[in-house]
Structure 1
Amino acid sequence: MTLKLGVHVSISGGISHSVDNALEIGCSAFQIFTRSPRQWKTKELTPHETDIFKEKLDNSPINPKSVVVHMPYLPNLSAPTSEMYEKSILVLTDEVTRCNMLGVPYLIIHLGSHLGQGPKNGINQLVNACRKSLDAYSDLGLPRNKVKILLENSAGQKNSIGSRIEEIQSIFHILGQNDFGLCLDTCHLFAAGYDLSTGSNVSTLIDLVDSSIGLENLKIIHLNDSKGDLGSNLDRHYHVGLGKIGEGGLKSLINNKKLSQVPFIMETPIDSIRNDADNLEFVRNVLTDSH
């Protein structure tokens, strides 16, 4: 099987540069922010910018279905109703719009924190935010939405939504699969108590996802090792194979035939131990069955 593998790449110098950055280190998939992830305000994308991005992508060996946008960090879609919650909905609407302009099929969202109002209320807020954003996009009079919003599992930090597969299943079933899908983060899974360190445990998890949400709805896997222990609720990504999950479990995940069509995106540190190119090389040369 041909592994669809990549990393989160920079848009510094313009959003179309992300395609160049991905190709330069040998990605066959990649993830971007469309803006600074730590600011509310951003300048609009121009048709000129998006046309260059699409042209570069079309002329590259990377399948556009293996490209994904990640929401900025500041929005909290599960928060109680407030100015911040309303701003979060506006950002989600804007990101859906930007993804449609770029021709990117997937937008990954963090499910947020209920901030003490309880999981049930948080989920209601999340569902409301997602629906409002898609309705707002429809009201813009632009071409029909072609972007799926992907729900990403959380590490289980205090008051967070979506650390358990069953909880994501309940959200997914309310929202439906027409406009929504799933992104699984391996570090978050491990931190939330799902032991991925062995092949048998990986198979059990895949079966759970398939029976509860459906593997056809799993569109992206964030391939990250964990610096924190199993069940620690620590969202601390680490180099693949060097963390607490380890080589064995992640190798089983990458080579599982049920996941052969799912792109794997790494969000690992860039430091003296490894950079993005090193992590790509490690996964291809050490963790794939073809080697």
Structure 2
Amino acid sequence: MQIGCHVSISGSIDKAVDNAIERECSAFQIFTRNPRGWHVKELTKDDISNFKSKLKASKIDRFATCAHMPYLPNLASPKEDGFEKSVKTLIDEVERCALLGIPYLVTHLGSHLGIGEEEGIKRLVKGLTKAGETKNDVMILLENTAGQKNSVGSDFKQLGEIFNQLKPSKKFGVCFDTCHAFVSGYDLRTANKVKETFDEFDKYVGIKNLKILHLNDAKGDIGCNLDRHYHLGLGGIGEQGISSVVKFANKKKIPIILETPIDDERDDFENIKKAKEFA
């Protein structure tokens, strides 16, 4: 199985590999920059070579690694300056992933800020298509959303409609977040419900397009639209559901990334241990 968590790059980007190994990860996700600002520090030759050499020396498959877009970009924004800035950041991130040899970049789909889903999706598709023109083999992964106000892409049918507009198709895939799916109304609490949910996902989006799975329990209940991740088995989804999702992802050979909290209840080490128990 390929399983791990989001790891810190604090100190230097190659420290991410050390942090992944320390947590006994066979997959991991990073931010390539500070996720809470627009400013970006260029990657140096040393940054790139150290990251690549550490990853190669580890037992972690390159195709079980991904980066995540920073928080500020909004690819569905109706505000021209914000939209342009967001698309530039997406292109920059694709290029940074290419330099580091990271094959996947996960992106949130953004908020239409009240102009309506149709217009928001047009903006989103325009921005993603522009980023898809980059000449490298990095795949941009669309992450399903929690269904918050003004968001797009929580509904599998809509997510599929967005995905199928993107060209070239080889530049795009999908990241499935269990917390987001659950709080947007998809039941994942039993083995049967997990099967039903992934059957519906397959119908509209396609399991073949699913490259990374974000494994998170949910702080809230089904359909609440609250994007609050929680420790595996202790939230609204629960042990039976999380266990069924892990088994599904392993069977399909989809790398699993945890984005669970670190608090007095549990840390990364304990959540990864729990995920391996569920497997």
TM tier, smaller: over 0.9
Mapping for residues 189-208 of structure 1, pairs under 5 Å:
189-208=181-200
Q: 1:129 aligns with which of 127, 134, 138?
A: 127
Deviation, 1:259, is 4.3
- For the pair 1:283 / 2:275, whether they are aligned, the reply is yes
Give the residue type in structure 1 aligned to 2:106. Answer: I
3-state SS of paired residue (2:40): coil
Identity over aligned pairs, percent? 51
Given the two structures, how large is their TM-score scaled by the length of structure 1?
Answer: 0.93
**2:142 aligned residue:** 151
CA distance in 2, matches of 1:147, 1:163: 24
Given the two structures, how large is their TM-score scaled by the length of structure 2?
Answer: 0.97
**1:140 aligned residue:** none
Give the residue type in structure 2 aligned to 1:108. Answer: V
* Kept in 2: contact 1:47–1:101 (CA 8 A): no
- For the pair 1:58 / 2:56, whether they are aligned, the reply is yes
Deviation, 1:257, is 6.7
CA distance in 1, matches of 2:110, 2:3: 27
Q: 1:25 aligns with which of 23, 26, 40?
A: 23
CA distance in 1, matches of 2:222, 2:205: 23
**2:44 aligned residue:** 46
Deviation, 1:121, is 0.5
* Kept in 2: contact 1:227–1:244 (CA 8 A): yes
* Kept in 1: contact 2:213–2:249 (CA 8 A): no
Give ranges in structure 1 of 5+ residues lacking alignment. Answer: 138-143
Deviation, 1:81, is 3.7
- For the pair 1:237 / 2:235, whether they are aligned, the reply is no
CA distance in 2, matches of 1:115, 1:24: 41
Give ranges in structure 2 of 5+ residues lacking alignment. Answer: none
Deviation digits for residues 166-221 of structure 1, max 9, x if unmatched?
A: 11100111004311000010000011000100111100111112222221110011
3-state SS of paired residue (1:256): helix
* Kept in 2: contact 1:9–1:32 (CA 8 A): yes
3-state SS of paired residue (1:175): coil
3-state SS of paired residue (2:165): helix
CA distance in 1, matches of 2:54, 2:171: 26
Give the residue type in structure 2 aligned to 1:46. Answer: T
Count residues in correspondence: 278
CA distance in 1, matches of 2:79, 2:183: 29
Mapping for residues 1-291 of structure 1, pairs under 5 Å:
3-135=1-133, 137=134, 144-176=135-167, 177-256=169-248, 259-285=251-277, 287-288=278-279
* Kept in 2: contact 1:192–1:232 (CA 8 A): yes
